[in-house]
Structure 1
Amino acid sequence: MSQSIAPVLEEKQTDTSPTLTFEEYRVYQSNDDVQYELYKGKLIPMATASALHTSICEYLVYKLQRYLAEHNLDLVVKTSVGVRTEDATSCIPDVLVCTQSLWEQILAKPGSGILDLGETPLLVVEVVSEDRRADYIIKRAQYELANVPEYCIVDPKFGKQKIRILAFIEGEDGYTHTDFFPGEEIVSVVFPDLVLLVDEILNPPLVEELVKAEQAQLQEFQQQVAIERQRTQQLEQEAVIERQ
């Protein structure tokens, strides 16, 4: 994640910051170009993401979009979209997947793009920043409370690199987690056919290079189709001449 949703004020300190309702937060406009999450009515600023953080998110969006397209699923992949988890609490995961119809409902609402209570995404992803407790404890509790089917934590910190998948397993009351380490392939509960390598997620290739490679393959395929079409037309013409 870009920054913790955990409270940044100690109880013994005097908290003079304003307390917002969820509806006030939905239409809140900051004057400092900072994005805020909401925790129990308090605005929590989000720090600017690192370059690696940004690359990981872009790569995951790229892979998820292609997976959804290949399987013809009416789902969308979004970033910077909030998820309301309690009455006055709203997280902003780095990446989320929700239904297309749900996203269209969000588009029709005024204010910030936030999934309200009952508007549950299928998957949320957080990339761990300096505040590790926020992703492993605070946000785990929030997404579990909101009944998000799958919560993925990407931890790129050297010496602690791993990807944790938290999901609701039949027979369990809350999240059950599985850790995947470098050299392994993650197994998604919501998207079991999704193939993602831990190494590529933690050290992702440039999406721009992946798109270039796709375009090169497409052009090569189109050229082969054109050659085959010309060959077919030539054979047909030769056959016509022979019959004459």
Structure 2
Amino acid sequence: MLTTKPRFQTFKEYLKYDDNSDKLYELFNGKLIEITPESGLNIEIANFLFLKFASLVGHRRVRGHGLELEVRGEPKNRYPDLTIIREEHIQQLSKRNTIRLFMSPPLLVVEVVSPGDIQRERDYIAKRIQYQDCCIPEILDC
């Protein structure tokens, strides 16, 4: 049976959507674009950094790839490979792991850059512009 994904007029409308799966989606022009799984090497690097940062700021303030950031432009959301959140975010994220534009920005986002020209363009330029627009103080590409 073929199923179609809904279209969304607003990010708030999208936040109510639940397809009862563990899939991650970017919201691009009202459509859901499924995010492909990370490579083993990217996960290994992100996990290494998670352990290092957790020893510095505590494990509750370090979030992996599942943290969603609302951003301006298209897509309307991003999933950094690693994020250092503020103390206030811990409670705010207890129901949904999404930092909205009206919330304080995270302290740091990390993108493990994937190989290939398209991925480099996305990770080094497009994502960086969106993160800077959210006033995230530190952005690390590795």
Query: Partners of 1:67 and 1:50 in 2: how far apart?
Result: 26
Cα RMSD (Å) of the superposition? 2.5
Q: Deviations 1:50-92 (Å, cap 9, x if unpaired)?
A: 11111011101000011125xxxx9700111111112871111
User: Secondary structure at the residue paired with 1:143?
Assistant: helix
Equivalences, count: 132
Contact 1:20 1:42 in 2 (8 A): no
Query: Partners of 2:56 and 2:45 in 1: how far apart?
Result: 16
**Residue 57 of structure 2: aligned partner:** 68
% identical equivalent positions: 33
Q: CA deviation at 1:106?
A: 2.0
**1:125 pairs with 2:125:** no
Give the aligned residue type for 1:91.
Answer: R
Query: Partners of 1:140 and 1:35 in 2: how far apart?
Result: 20
TM-score by length of 1: 0.49
**Residue 85 of structure 1: aligned partner:** 71
Larger radius of gyration between Structure 1 and Structure 2: 1
- Structure number with greater CO (CA < 8 Å, separation at least 6) is 2
Q: Deviations 1:94-119 (Å, cap 9, x if unpaired)?
A: 11011122221221x4xx41101132
Contact 1:82 1:92 in 2 (8 A): yes
TM-score by length of 2: 0.80
Gaps of 5+ in 2: none
Contact 2:62 2:82 in 1 (8 A): yes
Gaps of 5+ in 1: 1-15, 155-244
